[in-house]
Structure 1
Amino acid sequence: MLKIGDFSKLSRISIRMLRHYDEIGLLEPRSTDRMTGYRYYSEDQLPMACRITSLKEMGFGLAVIGEIFKKYDDPGELAKFLEIKQSEVLAEMKETSRRMRLLESAIERLRKDETSMNYNVILKTIPERTVASVRMVLSAYNQEGMLWNYLMTETADQNFQFAENCLSLAIFHDEGFQDSEIDVEIQASVKGTYKDTEHVKFKTVPPVEIASSIYKGSYDQITEVNHAVANWVNDNGYEFNGAMFCIYHVSPAQTQNPEELVTEVCYPVKLKS
């Protein structure tokens, strides 16, 4: 029989951890002296200690290791545990790789332009949602307010409700900047079912993955923000996948002070094939 200190040296597991294993029933000593409380282990418990260490190094938690030991003699069941952990590790590797790309591109942009981090870009998915939509061709960008007016006036008698965490946004369907004949669509997330009107259409919008940047202040900054998002997309292995749009977190309907506006510039994206 081995004292806990000797077993600790042979197994390369600390005394503190061996006591913890005993407390949770993962690796109990072969015997315990009732008078002194000393724990004694057997040499044939060393392989079990080695298995625990090996599984921990693979990333398994102690609770899962306990479950694994219940089925350790069944190779098929053991393989299932290992395959699940393998999938988790692969997902972690993918996420780590993504973070490395983000860091590398951010460092590279800073080397080229010290102001590039003024507009931080993130990747996220906007989930499926039901929206009230108005789409028209306008003669100028500053006429967008007309679309919002149609939205509110034509639906006034329906008493429709905005969704929680409502997204109010404008989608610019043209490929580039237009001096006139601008194809603009506005959307507001709603909950419930409503009837279409002359200009307002209710529809379900599928989820979309976007690269976006939120900024505070006047719309004069939007060109710089567009450049920041475009650079991020190019630097991180993505490509554009749809019409650019802006989410109005704080809009002119809520404040007359341009410095209080909060806008999110969004570009649908997908990984380059």
Structure 2
Amino acid sequence: MKEFFSIGEVSKLFNVKISALRYYDEIGLLKPEYKDEQTNYRYYSTQQFERLDTIKYLRALGLPINNLLDFYNSQNTNTLLHLLKSQQAEIDRKKKELERIERKISRRITHIEDAVNMPLHQISKIKLPAMRVAYLQHEYVLGHDIEHSLAELRTHLNVNEDIFIGKIGLSISAANVRAKQFDKYSSIFMILEDENEKTSSEIIFPSREYLQIRFRGSHLEAEPYYKTLLAYMEEHHYEVAGDSIEITLIDYGITNNLDNYVTEILLPIK
């Protein structure tokens, strides 16, 4: 029976890359039984096969190389149990993170499909639940670069970068809406999702009734739709009950075609 196997033979037998076997040798995880001094070829004995099997098994469980070194430096039951339990906890953390990402993706799909399919230029009376928002009172003049305002919001709230992948909105104060001044915004905000941690400047938009309208375009094209909403309010004897909510549902983050932008205006009513 053959006693020694070359690195190429071991690579084929165990479906392990030669580069990985050389790395294991380099870090002391699995050194060959001997090296030919003249050719520098590595040779492994059959007694090392069980160790390589164990390495493959533990790597398949996701254990990092450094953890395998810790195990083989002590090689006892308690060390292995500790490593496996630690890996189990890490997998649980990753599962929760993937579930969080899945919920974000599902919501994003729903938002985009809703923005694409909902009729435009129609006024609807809706009631929305309370919304958590990362909020910054900040005057923004129509036509200015909103990215600077977003950067200020990010810095001011000291929030993680990933929460800014969501619904960014602007508000016109109730006083300016009543005065029909639609070129100055009073605040910038982002609607927070359930998974977002609380921020220092978080506020709650209360549950209330709104008049809603959506149109093709961005904030630059919003003015006539505010006027349409105000005319509808006057006709139906509603009053402005708070600052507007204006959100571009489809913008440059989704499409390069300006004609496909969709913006929503929500006016709170009483």
TM-score, L = length of structure 2: 0.47
TM-score, L = length of structure 1: 0.46
